Amino acid sequence: MSICMEGPAAFPGGLLSLLDAPPAVFRVGGPLLARPVPAGFPSPADDYVEGRIDLNRHLIAHREATFFIRVAGDSMTGFGIHDGDLLVVDRSVEASDRSIVIAVLEGDFTVKQLCHAPQGYLLRAGNADYPDIHVGADLSLTIWGVVKWSIHEIGLCLPTSP
């Protein structure tokens, strides 16, 4: 088995596609409320804004090594990554055990959780319908980048009611 932390410079189409847009397109900001919103019991809202948030500064730690990738498929829903999500991938971060990564396995790109295993590595899906991929000495694995954020529209990810 070989594992490489540096991948190809180009990102081919297929399971995932690279969004080739200038950085200015992602220059997004907005008001930041001074108080976090409770996910439990409601609390009175404050009528003031703390300041503005620059999503570039919040989502991108290493600008030159960060890429945006669109997800196709449902193998990672258990990790909160859904079909159509936009992933923020940092190629300068070294993957560790249980990192969500963009992996190149035998020339094919995939998004999976990287797990250390006794005989190599395991690429784990976040959906029981997809089996784990055992990466042993007979397979070539390259970690293209580490997924730092998944951006999705909430309405698209909600379960349907019975």
Q: What is the pLDDT of residues 62-117, one digit of tens each?
A: 988 999 899 999 999 999 999 999 999 999 999 999 999 999 988 889 999 999 99
Could you read off the pLDDT of 35-56 as tens digits, one per residue? Answer: 666 776 665 655 555 677 788 8
| 144 vs 12: which has the higher pLDDT | 144
* Residue carrying structure tokens 């055992």: 134
Note the pLDDT of residue 127: 96
Residue type, 83: D
Give the C-alpha separation, 144 to 8, whole Å: 7
Please name each of the domains of the chain with its CATH number.
63-151 (2.10.109.10)
Reply yes or no on whether the pLDDT at 3 is more than 60: no
Q: DSSP alpha helices (H): ranges in the chain? A: 55-59, 154-157
Cα 128 to Cα 10, 74, 75: the distances in Å are 31, 11, 8
Whether 43 is catalytic = no
The pTM assigned to this predicted structure is 0.72
Note the pLDDT of residue 6: 42
Non-local CB neighbours of 140 within 8 Å, separated by 6+ positions: 1, 2, 105, 106, 107
The single residue of 75, 99, 140, 161 carrying the catalytic annotation is 75
The single residue of 112, 140, 148, 150 carrying the catalytic annotation is 112
| 30 vs 80: which has the higher pLDDT | 80
Q: DSSP alpha helices (H): ranges in 47-107? A: 55-59
Note the pLDDT of residue 161: 61
Whether 75 is catalytic = yes
